[in-house]
Amino acid sequence: MRLLVGTTNPGKLAEIQAHLGNLPIHIVPLGHLATWPEVAEDGRSFEENALKKARALADFSGMPTLADDSGLEVDALGGAPGIHSARYSGEDANDARNNEKLLQALAGLPQEKRTARFVCVLALCLPDSRQRREWLFRGECEGWIAFAPKGGNGFGYDPLFFYPPFGKTFGEVDRETKGRVSHRGKALRRLVESLPMLLPLLRQP
């Protein structure tokens, strides 16, 4: 069975492949398509954005599609950057600028007021041509925002996200270690647990 994975983020793709690699699924990265529609992430929640991407890409490709929306929620910032995590520092945002803006927003706050969580919502969707079916899988991971970036692993806010059980940021651990506890790892495990029931539906022409 072919499954389109609706991301061009190499870090996300690697995490998804690591969890689904041993299943009877042929993963088709979005970048393997000649073209694909741009989907505006203008929903009001991670669920809305993930579903919007999965639906559009499934209908375009005709393949079952997995898409995600994920981000960082910081309690002291009222849940920001949240669904705007990737574009937190503006339209020309990148990881370094986003991290710098976050540190500035939390400047002067002590550790106990820097609590945060990563959130990931995966949307699995069949195209409309195959009698649209869709499923959602959510994962969260609690931690706090460090006072400076540490570690060169991962992507996004990983160097700033301190995970207390490890005593390290996500940027200081390898992908396999992070995947055991991360928001995306939890959502992917929920997906994998459901796949024995879902595969017959996904394989139907």
Beta-bridged to residue 116, according to DSSP, are 74, 143
CA distance 188 to 22: 13
- CA nearest 156: which of 5, 3, 7, 4? 7
> With contact defined as beta carbons under 8 Å apart, do 56 and 65 qualify?
no
What is the residue-level pLDDT of the chain in tens, covering all 205 positions?
889 999 988 888 888 888 888 888 899 999 999 999 999 888 999 999 999 999 999 999 999 999 999 999 999 999 999 999 999 999 899 999 999 999 999 999 999 999 999 999 999 999 988 778 999 999 999 999 999 999 999 899 999 999 999 999 999 999 889 989 999 999 999 999 998 888 777 776 5
Question: Does 68 qualify as catalytic in the annotation?
Answer: no
- CA nearest 118: which of 64, 163, 58, 77? 163
Q: What angle do CA 23, 5, 184 make, to 5 degrees?
A: 75
Domains parsed from the chain with CATH numbers:
2-203 (3.90.950.10)
Q: Which of 42, 59, 68, 69 is catalytic?
A: 69
